[in-house]
Structure 1
Amino acid sequence: MAPTLLTVILNWRSAEMTLDACAAALQAVATIDGAITIVDNDSGDGSFEVMTAEVQRRGWDKGAHPVRVLQSGHNGGFGAGNNFAIRQGLPGGARPDFVYILNSDAFPDQGAVTALLDHLQAHPQTGFAGSFLRGPEGDPHRTAFRFPSIASELEGAARFGPISRLLRDHIVAQPIPAATGRVDWLAGASLMMRQSVLDQIGLFDETFFLYFEETDLCLRAARAGWPTDFVVESRVTHIGSASTGMKSWTRIPGFWLDSRRHYFTKNHGYLYAAGATAAHVVGGLLWRARLLAQRKDRGDPPHFLKDLIGHAVRRKPQAPPMPPRTGAE
């Protein structure tokens, strides 16, 4: 019996781009049984109505791989929006065999989704599989990572060659793999998951409003014996930060700090989380000392260390602003 696939695309105030991603996905899943669900994450700008009308106008809702547009009714963030679609299942309520999460600013090549599905079917012990992502100009994106740790916080903040060499086995952002293989976690812009694994470990933790949610999900899967693989044959064009505005942040958002703290405290405990923050502060101070002698790009939003330290001594999470993301990394 052929496997079934539910593709989920989350929209936040980017209806046209989401429809473009859906069009690319429809071509990429043409030979796979299943359906596509677009979730409007309570955009409040008419996105839901625009996408619903356009899906009907194009006849996608009646195609061999039907598309439906759902309204979440509440913007709980990236994980909550995707969970909303996953809980709905396929049209009629049937559970799919696999779930494919696609960003609204990601456009799979022909064969990209099939490559992920084929890999998971050929490797029954693998829980999740993700794609090789590249920018619109063909520049490869780093999307294969190690799990964050105290050591990685020190290395990433210090940005100093001797420290990086000493802690090379703890650096979060790995070189782009040249071949398909095992990684700790992958960016969720193009990620396929076994429904049976989600049934076992649960869906995205909705405490994460934005960022670290796929890191946490992959960690839970790995701890349950379901590792994640990077599939180089699956090629996806990804604009990246198209809706988060991450590259132009003038100050680190509270929701990023909340997600970081929740990841460390949930998975390693409060003392470990405090150690991770202390390591980042030490590394950050070393980096800023170098900036006094060398002309380098600061690399962090203004007031980053001050905001990190201030957040660490507060226990109550900050209420997120109106979120800028559809799911972009």
Structure 2
Amino acid sequence: MVTRSIETVAVIGLGKVGELVASLLARAGFEVIGFDAVERPCADFETRLLDVVDGQAIRSGLSDADAVVACLPYHLNIAVAEAAYDAGVHYFDLTEDVPTTERVVELSAVRPESVFVPQCGLAPGFIGIVGASVAATFTTTRSIELKVGALPQNPTGLLGYAFNWSAEGVVNEYLNDCEVLRGGRRQMVPALAEKERVVIGGIELEAALTSGGLGTMCRTYEGHVQRLDYKTLRYPGHFRQMHFLFDELNLRDDRALIGRILLDAKPPVNDDIVYLHVAVEGVKDGQPFRENFVRGYLPMDIDGRRWRAISWTTAASAVGVVELVAEGVLPHTGCVHQEDIRFSDLLATRSGALFAAAS
């Protein structure tokens, strides 16, 4: 039996995704301590109360752990990363926020004896793992196009959306500038630009640039790939309505208000679907080629409980990465980027195997 470098994992934030992250970790054989600001008793793992804005309380909570997975709104993650740095424990998170990730990378550079693995969710995270793994099969790569949409299966209204993910995070993605590669060089471009039509399984969607979905991929592929971008998938007409909200109603500068309005108007649903669309172009087997990886992931029953598609795809990717670090497949020091992870390795983990089961 392989000795793991990680035995006890703290999960901070037991919300829509965090609870399943903790459950999958326990299912994969880790000892788990779940922390939240409110009581959330669970039969699968120990739970404790924690003030997530109290840095010293976080440091105390990590004293019994080998690693921590932060499942919090993006603006709370830096405090957890810095606590992990001080406590000398391995750090994982689900953030899409670029400044948060930059801080995590800085911490990894000055504490090389721990591993820091930011952006382990769906996008960034799983989408980057798939995209990089497809690109690795090409002799030369011209472009990598990544798209993800977490949507209701049965949309209603002009927005055609439901906030199964953090409304705060979605607004952040819609308003922050996006890093892309154009002509092989990194550029910053406005979010919600470069809209295009996409059809998956006969379902018509639209896609537009949004922030954060590429993680660190632009730096990794700069000078090697001519074009790289990440777009969010929505039902037709969605982005037009968002432009109306942000610009015609002059709400662009009040993100908190926008988040409250949208969450109230489009609350979560159980019948969601997560669309993934990866397209890589280049030279393969001596010929010009375009390879597509397209999936639609539905809600899944795990150990007798049904989980939304956005919850299990995010959690399975994150926990699969923890498994890979613990088992020595990935480094247990320094900073690990999502594009460093092979899709085949992720599928070989107990949690990552959920993707194969759903395909």
Q: Under a length normalisation based on structure 1, what TM-score does the superposition of the two structures give?
A: 0.31
Q: Under a length normalisation based on structure 2, what TM-score does the superposition of the two structures give?
A: 0.30
Between Structure 1 and Structure 2, the one with more helix by share is 1
